[in-house]
Amino acid sequence: MSIRSKIVRAFTLLEVLLTLAMSVVLMGLIGTAFQFYAVDMNVRNMDIQQTQLAASVMQMIEDDLRATLHSEPADMSGLEELLSSSLGGDEEGGRGGSGSESEEDLSAAGISMEMEEEPLEAIDTTSLDLTSGVAVLQTPGLVGNQYQIQLDLSRLPRLEEYVQMMDETITDLQDVPSDLKTVAYYVQSDDSTGGVLDSLAELDPDASELTAGGLVRRSLDRAATVEAATMGNVSTLNQTGDLLAPEIKSIEFSYWDGLTWQLEWSSDEFGELPLAVQVRIYMVDPALAATENADTISALGPDSMRTFSHIVRLPMAVPIETEEDEDLSEAGL
């Protein structure tokens, strides 16, 4: 046997290096594919969570808007005619009386034939800021601008509201169960001081700040709200409420009057509720939230936000009669 036949062929150093390089590239491609899959699954998960959160918030706002109450002034003309006829005397019995005598009898009884209406001061919705104050309507109704809304709703109290009467939290106003509530919706900024506390942050011992931005819902008895605004207890009122969704960065409202969408509304000024309210909420796009940091996300504009929109019809609303409508109704058209 020759010596040359005993030589065993093996990989050269160059072939080994090329094989290792190809292995590194292949592992890098596999790792990138896994990372892309994880990011895509995270974005899809955030997308589903945002959709479910938006649906829940929209349903809550719709339930409150559909329960909005607006009381109409009582028509006392029938009672006045009944009292005037009873005090004016019966002509068949020979006790006929003139109109002046009946008016004198009514005035002597402390009844005024003319209803004196005091002028109501309409709330300036342009300067409305529910984060630093409260708007008190003269009659229950709705007031709001493009970014905030406050409404008085009629709803029977639930059983758990009676348990809240035993709550001794200092930062909250003492609420009482009632069928007339004043509910407000607004977005609290991240750098707000003295605002609504985050209940979840209180459970975290490492949390440096207890206040966070997001959608706030404040529900109080109307009498308690009016008393807090009258007595100047605004600081405690600003800390009362529930932080519903820190994920919501902005909210907008539009009010339908039957012809156009209004950016401001006050039932004291218009005399009626809007026929419909359009609600838009904005949340950070999940694709940007998965790639950007918190500082960059806070500086993003509305164009980079995900928008959810919903229109709610108010059952208690009636069309507002204009002067043209009154002229047409008088003409029988």
Residue range 154-205, pLDDT digits in tens: 888 777 776 666 555 545 556 777 888 999 999 988 776 667 777 666 666 5
Q: Which residues contact 121 (CB under 8 A, 6 or more apart)?
A: 138, 268
Residue 91 or 160, more confident: 160
Strands 261-262 and 248-256: antiparallel
Look at residue 304 and tell me whether its pLDDT is greater than 80. Answer: no
Whether the CB-CB separation of 283 and 246 falls below 8 Å is answered with: no
Mean pLDDT of the chain: 76
Instruction: Identify any residues that bridge with 252 across adjacent strands, giving them in sequence order.
Output: 280
Q: HEC string of the chain?
A: CCCHHHCCCCCCHHHHHHHHHHHHHHHHHHHHHHHHHHHHHHHHHHHHHHHHHHHHHHHHHHHHHHCECCCCCCCCHHHHHHHHHHHHCCCCCCCCCCHHHHHHHHHHCCCCCCCCCCCCCCCCHHHCCCCCCCCCCCCCCEEECCCCEEEEEECCCCHHHHHHHHCCCCCCCCCCCCCEEEEEEEEECCCCCCCCECHHHHCCCCCCCCECCEEEEEEEEHHHHHHHHHCCCHHHHHCCCEEEECCEEEEEEEEECCCCEECCEEHHHHCCCCCEEEEEEEEECHHHHCCCCHHHHHCCCHHHEEEEEEEEECCCCCCCCCHHHHHHHHCCC
Q: Which of 11-20, 125-134, 220-229 has the lowest mean pLDDT?
A: 125-134
If pLDDT is split at 50, 70 and 90, which confidence band does 206 have?
Answer: low
> What mean pLDDT do residues 27-33 have?
88
Question: For the purposes of burial, counting CB atoms within 10 Å of the CB of 167, is it exposed (0-12), middle (13-18) or buried (19 or more)?
Answer: exposed
| C-alpha distance across the termini of the chain, in Å | 124
Residue whose entry in the numeric block shows the structure tokens 């529900």: 219
Predicted structure pTM score: 0.70
> What mean pLDDT do residues 231-243 have?
78
Torsion of CA 309, 315, 321, 326, to 10 degrees: 140
If pLDDT is split at 50, 70 and 90, which confidence band does 251 have?
Answer: very high
Residue whose entry in the numeric block shows the structure tokens 């004196």: 116
User: How many residues are listed for the chain in this entry?
Assistant: 333
Whether the CB-CB separation of 106 and 113 falls below 8 Å is answered with: yes
